[in-house]
Chain A
């Protein structure tokens, strides 16, 4: 599995009145995928492993 990029997707939460991360838009093996923030999802697991490597990070557009 080759992960090229990962960026949080955000949506406005009317209850908290804030933009919140809802998923990760990632390019994996050349395909754009929407990966949920679910630890049981194997793509999410792979992104966490990828992000733990120095030089890789999940881009947070609101940070």
Chain B
């Protein structure tokens, strides 16, 4: 891993040859989190009414809103420009409570999470005696002070670990750093599936809070030890929570946030979601079949779910068959008339999220 090499270089260089800060600016993809600076939001910048049955991706790429149970609370999720001053960030993710729920039912929760492919985590050596520690760092702000939980879940082996952090000052950006020990039990699968969930809790019922916080790795994810002490961000419509600069890296020390060029960040996000224009107009003959293929770059994590918003010409029956794949989009049309016709004209949304 480049992380190790750069660290070794730093240890052997004379003090005045190169500064540590310059070394820290070397891009080596040390951050397990994608879009930790919240700069990419392909789906849109605001989503309202998030509550019951709304688990999924709504605004900022790769960050998943998660609810469980049948909550009555509602949140607006926004890509915000409210950021910690002088830290280099331009965007944050904001959760704003718009319908309050004074207390959550035992099985209910509110979370913002990122899911990570196992094949990107093999260097952590999880499940071996050499398992790496993980350190999370992030900037957070809320009017709702108190205890919050960051929970890591090993989806492959049904294991979890949680750490708490405290928002001390209302409506003030604070930087938090949490270190999680390495787990010598259970290796991550080496595939494109969801192996690790990085979960920021914003509220949790007693099914997740009535035990003792799982500050060491333990079996059985999501139990009474998961989110002990978590405040309820849904208990007032005055409540809001912001986060940016999320970094999760190997080791026990939080380094400076790894800023990536926007094109690199966008391309990393487009492995999981992208929108692509498809447009074709030609002369067709009744009864003939027409096949079109559009390349998809970058190749997506898996064959994506597709949805089309646009139109088809009347000479192809105002329809077509869309077949999305990880590296191309295929359209098939059968002409119902002869003449100049649009086959398809619109945007295909491709979703291969975890």
Contact = CB atoms under 8 A, between A and B. Distances in A.
A32 interface: yes
Contacts, number: 59
A11 B332 contact: yes
B241 to A, nearest CB: 24
B193 interface: yes
Nearest to B194: A42
A11 B323 contact: yes
A50 to B, nearest CB: 14
A32 B191 CA distance: 29
Nearest to A9: B321
Contact of B321 (A22, A38, A40, A42): A22
B87 to A, nearest CB: 34
B325 interface: yes
B307 A36 contact: no
Given A11-B332, A33-B307, A42-B354, A1 B53 contact: yes
Interface in A40-54: 40-44
Contacts of A22: 321, 323
Contacts of B325: 36
Q: Which of A31, A36, A44 has the most CB of B within 10 A?
A: A36
B332 A40 contact: no
Contacts of A6: none
B305 interface: yes
Contacts of B289: 12
Please name the 10 residue pairs, one residue from A and one from B, whose CB atoms are nearest each other, closest first: A36-B303, A40-B302, A38-B303, A34-B306, A43-B305, A34-B322, A35-B305, A41-B302, A22-B323, A33-B307
Given A36-B325, A40-B192, 5 more contacts: A11-B323, A32-B307, A36-B306, A40-B191, A43-B305
